[in-house]
């Protein structure tokens, strides 16, 4: 049944993509250029500033809440990257996030953590960027590490739990999962623009189950990250701009002994200057393989 539901969502997204391509052809609009793929796992950056930024697909004619959220999912798949500013419980930080074609993240924490900064480039992680890290590593400011492979032997992404909580496509996939009944809350002022506010009620289990592209181990980790203290119900509030791009996500949840309270703000989607780069090798010490909890921030 889950596979049938997943295929149904994919067919709806594919139909939206066809509509977008046809609309682009009729209006004569050109497509955007995909971001550069990381070389040797060293860095991820978008196209040079002189390259045209992807404009995204045309809006579909179905403007029901479900149709709009499907459009938003396609729009964020197309964007591939954005700057995120987040508060996940008591933890907060900001920086560029790439969710396609490779995973990359460069975060500066604004609350105390193991290190001031966190960088992930595909399956390699880096922590540090501060004096404390340099003091314990002979002057080198960064620690490089990988994580244990999954049970099938595939290389895992460090801090996958954090990345999955921030990934806008995953949030929209959960909102568009079979059986969801999104509602339109209304138009609201957000900074200098007007945004549309939508709301979906789900659970941590359904949110994680909607991520069919993830391994089972990673879905289990996401479910644990979404359900601190046993939180079982989740309310997703999503704010979209006039391009159907997600600009703000809020997750709240209640359970027997805990409460989820997360907020993520997305800016500069498909931004031409966004970049996540590995530190210089001469300033890095290799610390081998680590175990990173899906609850790590």
Q: Which residues contact 159 (CB under 8 A, 6 or more apart)?
A: 105, 118, 120, 125, 292, 296
Q: What is the residue-level pLDDT of the chain in tens, covering all 297 positions?
A: 444 444 454 555 554 444 444 334 433 343 333 333 333 345 665 543 333 344 455 566 788 999 999 999 999 999 999 999 999 988 999 999 999 999 999 999 998 777 889 999 999 999 999 999 999 999 999 999 999 888 878 888 999 999 999 999 999 999 999 999 999 999 999 988 999 999 999 999 999 999 999 999 899 999 988 886 666 789 999 999 999 999 999 999 876 666 778 999 999 999 999 999 999 999 999 999 998 887 787
Q: Is the dihedral of CA 87, 92, 97, 99 positive or negative?
A: negative
Degrees (nearest 5) of the Cα angle 27, 31, 36?
175
* DSSP-derived pairing of the beta strands 142-147 and 284-290: parallel
Write down the pLDDT at residue 124.
Answer: 96
Q: What is the pTM of this model?
A: 0.80
Q: How far, in Å, are 142, 161, 188, 267 from residue 241 at the CA level? A: 37, 27, 10, 11
CA dist 261 and 100 (Å) reads 26
**3-state class of 258 per DSSP?**
coil
Count Cα neighbours of 270 within 13 Å in the Cβ-side half-sphere. 20
* DSSP-derived pairing of the beta strands 117-121 and 124-128: antiparallel
Omega of the bond prior to 236 within 30 degrees of 0, cis? no
């Amino acid at each position: 049944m889950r596979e049938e539901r997943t295929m149904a969502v994919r067919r709806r997204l594919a139909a939206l993509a066809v509509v977008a391509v046809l609309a682009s052809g009729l209006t004569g609009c050109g497509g955007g250029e995909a971001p550069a793929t990381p070389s040797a796992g060293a860095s991820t950056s978008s196209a040079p500033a002189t390259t045209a930024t992807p404009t995204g697909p045309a809006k579909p004619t179905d403007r029901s809440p479900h149709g709009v959220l499907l459009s938003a999912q396609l729009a964020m798949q197309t964007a591939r990257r954005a700057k995120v500013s987040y508060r996940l419980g008591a933890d907060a930080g900001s920086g560029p996030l790439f969710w396609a074609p490779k995973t990359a993240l460069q975060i500066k924490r604004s609350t105390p953590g193991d290190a001031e900064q966190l960088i992930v480039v595909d399956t390699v992680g880096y922590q540090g960027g501060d004096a404390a890290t340099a003091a314990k590593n002979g002057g080198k400011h960064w620690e490089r590490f990988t994580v244990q492979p999954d049970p099938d032997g595939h290389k895992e992404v460090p801090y996958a739990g954090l990345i999955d909580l921030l990934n806008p496509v995953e949030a929209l996939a959960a909102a568009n999962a079979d059986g969801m009944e999104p509602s339109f809350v209304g138009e609201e002022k957000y900074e200098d623009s007007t945004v549309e506010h939508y709301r979906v009620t789900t659970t941590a289990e359904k949110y994680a189950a909607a991520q069919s592209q993830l391994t089972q181990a990673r879905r289990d980790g996401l479910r644990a990250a979404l359900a601190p203290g046993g939180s079982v119900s989740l309310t997703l509030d999503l704010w979209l701009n006039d391009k159907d791009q997600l600009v703000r996500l809020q997750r709240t949840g209640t359970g027997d002994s805990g409460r989820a309270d997360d907020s993520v703000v997305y800016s500069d989607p498909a931004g031409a200057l966004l970049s996540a780069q590995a530190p210089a090798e001469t300033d890095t010490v290799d610390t081998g393989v680590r175990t990173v909890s899906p609850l790590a921030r």
